[in-house]
A = this chain, B = another copy of it.
Amino acid sequence: MAGVSRGTVSRVLNGGHYVSSAALAAINRAIFETGYVVNRNARNLVTQRAGSVAFVLSEPQEKLFEDPNFSVLLRSSTQALAEQDLQLVMMNAARPDERDRVLRYVRSGHVDGILLVSTHGGDPIMNQLERSAVPVVACGKPLGHESAIPYVAADDREGARQMVRHLVARGCRRIATITGPLDTPGGLERLEGYCDVVGRRANKRRIANGDYTRRGGEVAMNDLLERNPNLDAVFVASDLMAAGALAVLRRAGRRVPEDVAVGGFDDSRVAASSDPPLTTMRQPLDRVAAEMVRLLLDLIDGKDVGSVVLPTELVTRDSA
């Protein structure tokens, strides 16, 4: 229709180099008038690329429901990929059959790479992915695979330190902590950071394990209160658990922050709307997503990439 060959049109579609301005104009007009759009299947068939990236959620279903972090990560990733004209293909990989499906899918070249979210240490998918030579970037340290799988993470350990130091600076002396699951990087590193400040031989009684759910936070807080009736602060490894802890403290008649100061982690939505509003560590999840996409693209291009650790930021509200 523009009176030129397919080859010339293709050149215009792919940057417009080595095309005369006359041809360029004619082609663009034809494209506009016909509403032409390239057929991705045809293009990807010949270029051997997929034009999409899998967002693999390796986590039991319930978590996704409750944890607002996932949603933020998902949205930010979708957006960062869209800017590169890549599509995000969502995949669950919690159950073994789902994992198989994901592996089959990615191995057959249906995606150019993988954003791997929320892996527990020992998650079999990491081994399998490592063997399959597909570009992968993890969100958070992939425990046990730190050197093989590049990752983007918030500085959990330093963030925890900062929060506990903040509690110390407030005058708190009997500081407890509610951890995340200890097979997750966040669970582990935030506990490490806590120990860094309160001392290596931290009082075991002041450590309770949670599971990143609100109810888990309640259970852990009850536990903590029972074992340490005189505690004056608690560092909670996620805002959602902190919200649960807040409810327990209120029921126990402890004022926050006067009797017990509470510090959270994430700066998720719940932090601002809890009662009292939570002092917490902000994780830059939008930047995490953007960096993950950047690393993945480099990886796809065959470049060597390192991991990225992003700083966290103390957000002071009323709870501490």
Contacts and interface: CB of A to CB of B under 8 A. Distances in A.
Nearest to A97: B82
**Candidate in A45, A104, A107, A109 with the most chain B CB atoms within 10 angstroms:** A45
A211 to B, nearest CB: 13
A30 interface: no
A41 B47 CA distance: 10
A44 B39 CA distance: 10
Interface string A93-109: 00000100100110111
A222 interface: no
A39 B108 CA distance: 7
A269 interface: yes
Contacts of A44: 41
Interface stretch (A13-21, A68-76, A121-129, A287-295): A68-76
Interface string A15-29: 000000000000000
A268 B64 CA distance: 12
A264 to B, nearest CB: 16
A259 interface: no
A91 interface: yes
Interface in A52-97: 52, 55, 61, 64-66, 68, 70-72, 74-75, 78-79, 82, 87-92
Nearest to A88: B90
Contact of A71 (B40, B64, B268): B64
B40 A108 contact: yes
Contacts of A68: 65-66
B71 A92 contact: no
**Candidate in A41, A55, A78, A273 with the most chain B CB atoms within 10 angstroms:** A41
Contacts of A65: 68, 71-72, 75, 268-269
B87 A75 contact: no
Given A52-B89, A273-B214, A41 B37 contact: no
Nearest to A52: B89
B92 A37 contact: no
A108 B64 contact: no
Given A37-B104, A40-B110, A41-B44, A75 B64 contact: yes
A172 B108 CA distance: 61
Nearest to A83: B101
Interface of A: 35, 37-42, 44-45, 50, 52, 55, 61, 64-66, 68, 70-72, 74-75, 78-79, 82, 87-92, 98, 101, 104-105, 107-110, 214-215, 218, 244, 247, 251, 268-269, 272-273, 275
17 contacts: A37-B108, A38-B108, A39-B45, A45-B45, A65-B71, A65-B75, A66-B68, A71-B71, A75-B92, A78-B91, A78-B92, A82-B91, A88-B89, A89-B89, A89-B90, A90-B90, A247-B275
